[in-house]
Structure formats: C-alpha cells, structure tokens
Structure 1
C-alpha cells in the first residue's frame, strides 16, 4: 500500500548515526526525485549520548552532511534535508508522544540496538529485566521502546488517530515479529486489554533487513568537511557507499515509494535477513573481539590473515550448513563483506562494534551453534567466535581491554561471579543467561574448552 498525494509523517526513534546514513538518506533520495509527500520527525527515547547530536541537529533545522565513501576511497558529500522535525527530549517524552499520536503520523520506525528489546533466548520479553521491571513499576519514567510505543498507541486509540506501521530497523532476525511479541507481552504485563485488542487490527510490524557500515563520527570527519568548505555543520555522518534495505511489504497506513530509490519490498525477508545477520553481523563482532585481543584499534586493522581465515571457515563450514539454500551465494557474500570491512576510509572502531555483545552473541551466533549441534556436528568454526568473546570478556574482567566495554545488558549476566570461579570457562559456558539452552548441552562446555585452547595458542603466536 502506498499513501496517496497527501502529507504524511514518518517518526523515527533513535537519533544515532545509522538512521541518518540509512533511512533518512533513502527518504532524501526520494525527495530528490520530487516526491515530498513524506517527511521525517526524529527524536530520542532516552537522554543518551546522542542527545547532544539531536540538540545540534535541531539548531541546524534537521539539515546535515553525509560523507559517502566508495570501496576505492572516492568521497561524495551529500546534503540531507529529509528530517523536517527535530523533537527536543523531555523527561516525560511528551513532545515525542504527541508527534507519534498525530493522525498524520503513519509510520514509526526505530533503531534502539539489539539489546534494546530485552528479549530472552526463547524470543520472549524478559519481564524480570531490571529496566523492564522499573518501567512497569513506574510507567511515567519511560526508558524503553515498549514504554514509548504503549504511550503513543494509547493516545492514538483514545483520539481515533488511525492505524500505524511500526518498522523495526535493528539487527534482529525476524525483527518485526520480535517487536510484535515483545510489545504484546509488555501490554499484557501492563494489563491493558483494550489496547491489546486495538493493536490486533490497528498496527503492522513488517520484518526488515538493513545494511550500511556507519562508523562513529570523529574530529577527522569534521576536518574533512572544513577542507571542503563546509563550515556550518557540527553533526555530519560518514558511511560506506554500499547500502541495502529489504522490507516485507506490510504497511497498514501507507508508505513512501522507496522502491524508486533502491529499497527492496518482498513477501519474505528471512533469506536476506539470515544471510546478513549470520555473515556480516556475526563476523563484524568476531573481528572486533579478535582485534581487541590483538591490540588493534579498528576493524580494518584487525583483519589479519588468521582472522580472515577464521571468518571464512565459520561461513563455509557452519553458516552454509545451517542455512537452507537461498537466493544469496554465501561465499560471494563473505568476500564482499570482508572487502567492505577492510576499507580503511570507513574506519569503525573495535570498541563500537564490540558494544552490546551479549545481545549480539545471542542473536547473531547462538542460532548457528544450535542448528549445527542439532545436525549432529560439532561447530568448531563457530565456536571460535564464542572463544574469542570468552577471551575478550576474560581480559575485561582482568582490566586489560584497551578500551571501556559498553553493554546495556551487562547487569543481566553475573560476570564477576563467572570470572571469579576457578573454572571460569565452565561457568561461562553453563550460564543460561548467556547461552540459553546451549548451557545444558552435554558436550558444549568441553567443545568450547578445546577451541579456546587452540585460539589462545594462535593468538599468542600472532603477538
């Protein structure tokens, strides 16, 4: 369904760099074709580190520069004007809720990172997570995507503002389904039966797959803009030239014609999603963990011949066996992915990529492990990635990481207890809060122990 020739608002939650390099860029491309029927409103749920960026973006009336870097290092500077409303943050999120409940708002998307959905290993909402418990206890103190969506949807129901599409743009498999499950269970915990019944027919939650490497902005980016004569932008974004967006075409209240600018609308996003999550996202995390252990600062610097071999083996031996045959050649995809990661001009740090690794382990890596064990094989190549993270977290426990590790789920896993144990690997492997059902697998602990020894030896030889 595509909205007719009337103005519609697309609200995005999460003012990070990725949104401004991806979703906002796509809409800007559509505007350049003359289709301005949709415009973006942008706001934050939490008073986070990106708040200063949002405030500055407001001063710039939503306009910023996107630096697009090709694999060969060619740079294109683009002015992005698709964000028409920048919503100031307030403690009650009153302005954000007001925009979300406006009848002109037909689409609400969000990038809150993988850990921002508070899902357990089985895909259900973790109602015992401290953040969820606190929010359910004090609904006026909204801290999650569920809390703000419930507030918006309640207002839409009360004012008969009409249906709305909720579009998840984070790296979760079946991300729309995950959002729907988490939201339904959150509403059930709140006890709002009227809202639950309304949501059955008034919202859609299409699955989507997003892809574009967008490193954290730094002073060097600002200097490159100055060198280009761009002196009025304090919040630029840099990204690679490659971009992909695949979405299930399930929009209950209309959508922009993004297919005109390269977005793929499909009936089933799963083959694209699984390939991207297991190849690109899992590899990205593994490279960051390995790079930190090797003392490297950035992803491209971490791609030693040994790390490349680990990644290629992981995809060739385990991902290829775990996934059914689909439209994507995994060997070619692996080659393209490693080429993209090696671009020194799109330099992403190991600190940023390794953040929120608890959710990344559970979302990106454990599904391949489980499938391979179910197939009767020991997934040694995938266990290398788990071994790298174990050694990474072991080094964190010893205060020896070259940077501060950031993870919003860090309080949900007893790492102090795990690494205080005489057999910390056993405690790590058998932690259900980390490994879910794999913690009970009869050979998982010793399989991992064997691979950790091999990886440790290889790393020592590399240093």
Structure 2
C-alpha cells in the first residue's frame, strides 16, 4: 500500500490536454483541493501542437474552467475546476514539458493517449516501422516514447529522483504495455543506462478510467455562461457517471485519491476487462452501425432497437461467458452502460466514437472472438462488430462516409488496396494485425463473411 505523500507543493504533470483529462483526472484532484487537501496540483502539457489554442485559453483563465455534468434525466451541474495550477506552452522541442518533468517536485507524470498512439502491433510489441516511431528513434519527440525518453533522460541527469508514470486511457494492461514499449524503444536507441535507470526509478501502474466526455459543442459555453456568469472559452462537459481504478504502486508518493472515490486496488484486471469489452467495444459497435444508417449521435443509435440488440447480444452471448466468474455484476454493468449511452443530453457523436477502429478491433474485440473459439463456441454475436467495421470502411473507401474518419494508425493506401482486391472479405479476415491467430482460421473467415452479409441485408431493409 502506497501512502499519500506528505510533501507540500507536489506536482502531477499530465500530458494530453484533451477534454477527457479535464473531466476526469483534473476533477478528482479538484475534489481533493475542495476538501482542503492542497498538497498536489496539476501541470498540463501536450506533445503535439493541436491543443495550442486550448492551452493558451486555459493559461489566460489561470488554468480554471467549468465542467458541466449531465445525468440521463437531464440534470445539469456546474463546477469550476481549480486543480490545474500551471499550463505549459507547447514548443517544438518540448523543452518546457521536459523541464517540468525533470523537476523534483514532479512526482507523477500521467498521460492520455489514444490506442493508436502506443504504436503497438498485435503482439503488443513496438511497431518500429511506423514513421513517427522512426523519427523518434532518430532523436525526435513526436510520440509518447520519444517525449518520455527525452524527459526522463533530463530528469536522470538533473536529479535522478524517482517518478511514477501513469496511463489514463483505454489500452488493456496499459501500464505494463507502455513500459514494455518504452523499453523496446530505448533498446532500439541503444540507451542502456537510461533503460536501467527507468527500471529502478519508475513505476507504471495499470489503470482503468471511465467517463463519457464528448467534444464540447458551442452550446456548452452558452449554458456555462448562463448558469455561472463565467465567459469560459474552454468549458468541458461529461456524463455524471465517473470511475477510476488504479493499482496502488506509486514510487514517489501520491495524492490521497481514495478520499475522493478513486478505487486503489491490487489488480485492475477484472475492472479493465469489463470496461474495455462491455463499454468500449459496444460503444464502437453502436457508432459504426449508427453511422451506416445515417445517424449522427450515440444516443439516437443506442435507442434504435436493432442496434441496441446487436450490442446487447454481443455482451450477453459472448462477453459475459468470457469474463465469468467476475467480482462485478456483469449483466448489471451491461445495462448501466447501455443506459449511459442512451443519455440524450450528452450528444456524443458517432464520429468521435467510431474513430481508431484499426486499434480497437485487436484491443477490444479480438480477445472475445478468440476466447469463444477456445471454449468451442462460435462467436456469432461478436463477429457482427468487425463486420460492421468492414462495411463502415467500405463506405470510407467509396468516399461515402458523412464525416472524416480519424484513425491514428490508418494505412489509407493499404485499405484502398484491400477493397480493390478480388475478394476484400478474405483480405480483411486474413489481417493478423486485426485478428491475430484467427487470421489463419477458415471457420472465422466464413463467419465474418456471413456476418458482413447480415450487415448488408440489414442495411438493405
């Protein structure tokens, strides 16, 4: 058990200035401050320059902004979040971020990365052929690995104080897999001394995070101004539900997060598996299906009986048997998740949730496919999810999606080539990056073809 640090003015550096951090981790740290525990504050930074307007606006507001939360019944609450005490401006060399990460008062460095942002293959090894990874192997800092290598090398040189590296995202076994990827990255750069220092001076606990946080629409700022009088340039909104589960393995102290509802546990595994397979995979299923019938929002797609049934059957028939026994009530969790998705006030878009499918299939969906076959069950319900994604990407190939599809590891040329092949379904089913060992399975290929036919039949109705 790691006790909270007693040191004053400890800094929690977070990399990733998107909405999720500001509606999740920053909220928990704010609750500690509101309870009178002011030992920790957040310094916020970004690796890429896509958040520069946000960072500038936050800096002008002294790091403060309003969080709007809304229940499925439409009850809204407003809270001014005060936990971000320092906003780090972006620069191309990440010099300011590196300097903050090297300071001895920085005791936790957390980060929110999309699944594709880890650049891992289907065996969860570093994809060394990726252009961003190649650039960072030559000394760049485009990726979390390049940025962290630069930061930790400077920290080692400056003071050598230990620090906890904390993932705050949906990658399964995120702490372990990030650490493995970082060590492979350093091995390729032949930085043995830095790798040895990281081995002994850092910890990487696994975590599970949960709160639906859509990209804020313009009307959020309007409601915030009306409710609070604050002309907030960067408000954020999310659902009322929130959860954070962390393995209690911190090397340099931590905030007393258990006092504000964070679950500090020995193993995050059962929580993580339930969330990734039930919530995340169902979310993608609903977004792909809803997009295919011309819908824009998650709630309207969840309220479409055929789509809700697809997600319900996937969880009930295939996921619950795969995860049982579990310390969680999985059927209740399924029902709560679908209720959350149907919240009409969140207005989460299918576009946001449909993103990054080439990472989500191997991470969220393929494990259930494999486990069904391992216990002698044909995963008919689960196969509908990659089938939906196939038809979704076929629309993308044809230029018929209603929005721009975003995917951190999309190889556009390869996907166009696949759909131009004589038999695109076989090419899709044979993709080892997506389906691992099932890529060589004729029964799976046949099941996927049948499932794609079902999707097309459903769309033709």
TM-score scaled by length of structure 1? 0.97
Contact 2:65 2:235 in 1 (8 A): yes
- Which residue of structure 2 aligns with residue 440 of structure 1? 440
Residue 292 of structure 2: aligned partner: 293
Q: Is the 2:166–2:175 contact (alpha carbons within 8 Å) kept by the matching residues of 1?
A: yes
Please give the alpha-carbon distance, in whole angstroms, between the structure 1 residues aligned to 2:151 and 2:282: 36
Tell me how far apart the structure 1 counterparts of residues 404 and 7 of structure 2 sit (CA, whole Å): 49
Kindly provide the CA deviation profile for residues 289-327 of structure 1, in whole angstroms up to 9, marking residues without a partner as x: 000001000000112111111111111111012223111
Structure 1 spans left out of the alignment, 5+ residues: none
Matched, 1:163 2:187: no
Residue 275 (structure 2) aligns with: 276
Q: What does residue 44 of structure 1 align with?
A: 46
| 8 Å Cα contact 1:9-1:41 kept in structure 2 | yes
Change beyond 3 A, Cα 1:171–1:413: farther
Secondary structure at the counterpart of residue 228 of structure 1: helix
**What is the SS of the residue equivalent to 1:443?**
helix
Whole-angstrom CA distance in 1 between matches of 2:102 and 2:442: 51
SS of match in other structure, 1:426: helix
2:92 pairs with 1:91: yes
Question: Bigger CA drift: 77-86 or 190-199?
Answer: 190-199
Give distance in 1, aligned partners of 2:47 and 2:144: 7
In 2: Cα distance, 1:343 partner to 1:250 partner: 35
What is the CA distance between 1:451 and its match in structure 2?
1.1
Could you tell me which residue of structure 2 aligns to residue 34 of structure 1? 36
Unaligned runs of 5+ in 2: none
**Cα shift at 1:442:** 2.5
In 2, the alpha carbon distance for the partners of 1:275 and 1:229 equals 37
Hey, what does 1:249 align to over in structure 2? 248
Moved over 3 A (4+): none
Question: How many residue pairs get matched?
Answer: 458
- What is the CA-CA distance between 1:371 and the residue it aligns to? 1.2
Change (3 A) 1:250 1:229: closer
CA distance in 1, matches of 2:257, 2:72: 24
User: Is the 1:176–1:205 Cα contact (8 Å) retained in structure 2?
Assistant: yes
What's 1:101 paired with?
102
Is 2:216 aligned against 1:214? no
Give yes or no for contact 1:287–1:299 (8 Å, CA) kept in 2: yes
Q: In the TM superposition, what are the counterparts of 1:267-416 in structure 2 within 5 Å?
A: 267-303=266-302, 304-411=304-411, 414-416=414-416
Q: 1:437 to 1:201 in 2, by over 3 A?
A: same
Cα distance in 1 for residues equivalent to 2:413 and 2:263: 38
CA distance in 2, matches of 1:55, 1:393: 36
